[in-house]
Structure 1
Amino acid sequence: MTDTYRSGFACFVGRPNAGKSTLTNALVGQKIAIASSKPQTTRHVVRGIVTRDDGQLILIDTPGLHKPRTLLGQRLNDLVYETWSEVDVVGVCLPCDQRIGPGDKFIIGEIAKLEQKPKLVALATKTDLVSKERILSHLVDVAAVAEELGIEWAEVVPCSATEGDQVDVVRDTLINLLPEGPQYYPDGEITDEPTETLIAELIREAALEGVREELPHSIAVMIDEILPRPDRPEDKPLTDVFATIVVERDSQKGIIIGHRGSRLREIGTTAREQINRLLGTRVHLTLHVKVLKEWQRDAKHLNRLGF
């Protein structure tokens, strides 16, 4: 056992839906980043904190790099590049159920161009979805990519965040690659995200489920107020959360509300369960839907929504 204490920052990269947020949550041991089957679900940098006796790992969950079609998309990409240049280790998520493609190579190549290069770890994610033979052939491809792009993997780890398979190995690997350093956050802290942001994300995650392709990018959530209900007994507290779901067009507002408000009620029920868990107290959630025309392209709206 060494007395060396390691601390630092790591982030996961990969094409959209490569399992970055799911892995972040698995390593932290609690849900702090929303995961959805929709690409570009992650919209801002979420920090997850893993503290152990031998070190502290601060995980930064970033949006997926993509071809931006809006001002929001451009700002998200800028955020990704900024994060890459500041972390000690980058975990490249290369899902086993997909071939390594031009998008993956583009991302790895972009990291290789950085002046201050982070250490690179290849994470062969989603091992639960494929056979052992497929995992082995995927690992051969992972090695070939490093050779092709002239980079070196510090480690290669196959894992499945949903099954918890080899997640401890990923955790050990990342901490061992960090520099020696102090503990940045106090014990027990798992994220530095404000509660409001986490609640807004849980509502957005519920709103993303089951919506059509063109809608996900148009959804944003603003928290208007969080208030403890004043007249409640101490052993049965209730928190009132008032939030607004923002969309870009009237037709989208109709989709979110659903027939006689059915869709909005579903969103509220799903989100409320998650928020109860997050706050550890019962929540009464009131949702409104509002149209902000073309907010993804409007700098004023983006600033207001916190992008």
Structure 2
Amino acid sequence: MVDTDGLLSPADIRELAHALDLRPTKRRGQNFLVDPNTVRRLVRLAAIGPDDVALEVGPGLGSLTLGLVAEAAAVVAVEVDPPLAAALPLTAADRLPAAVARRLHVVEADGLRVGPADLPAEVAAPTVLAANLPYNVAVPLLLGLLERFPTVRRGLVMVQAEVADRLTSPPGGRIYGVPSVKLAWYAHARPAGAVPRPVFWPQPNVDSGLVAFERRAAPPGEPDLRADVFAAVDAAFAQRRKTLRTALASWAGSAAAAERLARAAGIDPGARGETLDVDAFTRLARQARLAGQGPVAGQDS
């Protein structure tokens, strides 16, 4: 039975998968949404408006895609799997009015590498990210997309519940860590609810959670400070139980240098990295740059 707003039912998902001879793989984190009510919920929480260009990474068989296309000015769906990428426009054309289906633009690319140059020239820059991210690469995907697509102002992503907790954890918490600080560099993030296992096919062995975010401005005049900030974050959490004086020694050049930088940034060198928010790490990186320390840049995840 066709859903009244064109969304895919569990039977539709299995029929599409059978037609594509698709067997979901853990390697690609393929767990497809099969519940139209959950799709409606996600579209509502993402607050997609008629002027938005939505970026979706990992659309799979199109469950969420169809809901996004119905609300946005355009949707750019980035899919790495060629058969899935080829099938997605056909699914939209089959289930949606032609004028609505034309809003969908499918890009066959790896979400970990896709950038603005890969998007169709006729489509405006994306303003919102809405995606059920592959759980095995969710953190580097999210951070990389926010770095490469500065026009994305807000978003809603579905990730493993444990990852959602880490991404939205405040300083001082047991699970506060590298993902928490690095996402905070780009955006103000908050938990946006849980998603039950039965709404997926196949059902995952982990719980799922939603993360909503709104982009924050980079430090005035210092957008290129990100690499230095991330390097400080990586160093601080590489030895989580150590004080900053010890944990940042290799980053700063020595324990004494780390202490001087911390004090110059208004931070207790006897504190641990888990107590620092992103603004504190930014002050540390700024002091290191002023001192000409030249710390080694860290990774994005």
TM-score by length of structure 1 reads: 0.31
Q: Per chain length, whose mean CA-contact separation is higher, i.e. which structure has more relative contact order (CA < 8 Å, sep 6+)? A: 1
Instruction: Report which of the two has the higher share of strand.
Output: 1
TM-score by length of structure 2 reads: 0.31
